[in-house]
Amino acid sequence: MSTFLREEEGPTWQQLLEEGKTCLSDAGVTESGLDAWYLLEASFGIDQVHFLMDRTRRVNRQRLEKSYPVYRDYLEKRASRIPIQHILGNQEFMGLEFTVDENVLIPRQDTEKLVETVLRDHKNQALSVLDMCTGSGCIAVSLAVLGGYDKVTAADISKAALKVAKKNVRRHFLVQKGTARSESTLISDTPWKLKMCTYVYQGGDAQEQETAGESVSDNGYSPGIARIPGVRKKEFVLLESDLFLNLEQDEKFDIIVSNPPYIPSAVIDGLEPEVKDHEPRMALDGAEDGLYFYRILVQQSGRYLKEGGFIYFEIGCDQAEAVGKLLTAAGFGEIETIKDEPGLDRVVRACRNR
């Protein structure tokens, strides 16, 4: 523990950062410098410009007394290998900030490839999307906000994860650009099902909206608003469900996406402490060969996909062939494997044949 608070002459900003860096690298944190900076930034509320200008200045005593204990607390947590995202409560994904905690997998940059591939393939907004195993909701929310799809359903077995996803839906979907009005309706408590709608002003005239489909129809909650020219209704549903268990039997989607748990059980214990000790195992563990969830999803998704609908999986970099085979055996076509930025197989896409 540093003695900065007891010293007559307090530390400079640079010394504070160095202290954090040493503390974290001693604990085996790889990005110790970067993480120390983020924790300093968050605890003292200093930005990079001011840090660079003032780095050799001593930190004001009052400010030190107020923020230094917070900084130390953050450093100790990080040194015990708690992920920085759990300490700060946030992770950026697809240019949006997502709330995270220990109940959800922290959004990975790799997963952006999954979202990007769906956005690449589907420019039409009049589509319904199902995100199976949504976790923080990062995939579903990004697709709803950036793809503008009319209906997005996000399912997860964990109610605690769905509460996090709900925060992210509120954070980005309910307040997106052009929102004229929004509302939430609890459809059922067991299983937990929450429907959220936004009415987004997109310009254009009423005629155009009419031909775009049912999105302007009145759902009974907001008489009138959906009929205003240029307003388009967008729906987001959060559903507690063990895979497809609680979905409506006759509901069919244009697109199903999923980043299911896919790490072989035996591999998990060899992962970094941040992952194996602090992220939910149920979000990582794909059973013996890692393919457990793909088998069920491939087998059951045909029933919930419209003819000609597409399924997109994030996969482990050595799983493309196995997942492709499962899809072929189940009658899917147009199978494509997409690589991530580092050049590893990351997404498999397939079409439910017409």
DSSP string across 109-154: GGGHHHHHHHHHH---SS-EEEEES-TTSHHHHHIIIII--SEEEE
**Residue 35 per-residue DSSP state:** H
Is 261 one of the annotated binding-site residues?
yes
Q: Which residue lies nearest ligand GLN, judged by its C-beta?
A: 262
For residues 38 and 292, which CB has a smaller minimum distance to ligand GLN in the complex?
292
Of the two residues 71 and 293, which places its CB atom closer to ligand GLN in the complex?
A: 293
Beta strands 151-156 and 332-339 are unpaired
Q: Whose Cβ is closer to ligand GLN: residue 233's or residue 346's?
A: 346
The DSSP secondary-structure symbol of 5 reads: T
Q: Give me the least distance between CB of 275 and ligand GLN, in Å please.
A: 5
Q: Got the DSSP string for 51-93?
A: HHHHTTSBPPHHHHHHHHHHHHHHHHHHHTT--HHHHH-EEEE
> In whole angstroms, how close is the CB of 176 to ligand GLN at the nearest point?
27
Phi, psi (deg, nearest 5) at residue 24: -75, -40
Is 156 annotated to bind a ligand? Reply is yes
Residue 284 is a binding residue for ligand GLN (CB under 6 A): yes
Residue 28 Cβ vs ligand GLN, minimum distance, rounded to whole Å:
18
Q: Are 239 and 133 in contact (CB under 8 A)?
A: no
3-state secondary structure of 46: coil
**Between 71 and 262, CB nearer to ligand GLN:** 262
> Do 152 and 140 touch, CB atoms closer than 8 A?
yes
Question: How far is the C-alpha of 294 from the C-alpha of 347, rounded, in Å?
Answer: 12
**Residue 229 annotated as lining a ligand binding site:** no
CB of 254 to ligand GLN, least distance (A): 23
Residue 325 CA, chain-centre distance (Å), reads 28
Alpha carbon of residue 307 to chain centroid: 28
Comparing CB distances to ligand GLN, the nearer of 126 and 267 is 267
CB of 34 to ligand GLN, least distance (A): 19
CB of 215 to ligand GLN, least distance (A): 32
Q: Is 223 annotated as a binding residue?
A: no
Q: In the range 105-164, which residues lie near ligand GLN by CB under 6 A? A: 105, 108, 110
Across-strand partners of 188? 193
Which of 247, 263 has the CB closer to ligand GLN?
263
Cβ-based nearer residue to ligand GLN, 31 or 218? 31
Q: Which of 251, 248, 246, 285 is nearest to 269 (CA)?
A: 285
Contact 140, 154 (CB under 8 A): yes
Q: In whole angstroms, give the CA distance from residue 249 to residue 283.
A: 25
List the one residue out of 68, 58, 60 whose CA is nearest residue 12. 58
Q: How many residues bind ligand GLN (CB under 6 A)?
A: 10
Contact map string, positions 77 to 116, toward ligand GLN, x by CB under 6 A: ----------------------------x--x-x------
Least distance (Å) from ligand GLN to the CB of residue 30? Answer: 15
Give min distance, CB of 269 to ligand GLN, in A: 13
Binding mask 241-280 for ligand GLN (x = CB under 6 A): ------------------xxxxx-----------x-----
Nearest to ligand GLN of 110, 150 (CB atom): 110
Burial 287-321 (b: 16+ CB within 10 A, else e): eeebbbbbbebbebbbebbeeebbbbbbbbeebbe
Binding residues for substrate, as ranges, are 259-262
Binding-site residues for S-adenosyl-L-methionine sit at: 156, 259
Where do contacts with ligand GLN occur on this chain (CB under 6 A)?
Answer: 105, 108, 110, 259-263, 275, 284
Point out the annotated binding site.
Answer: 156, 259-262
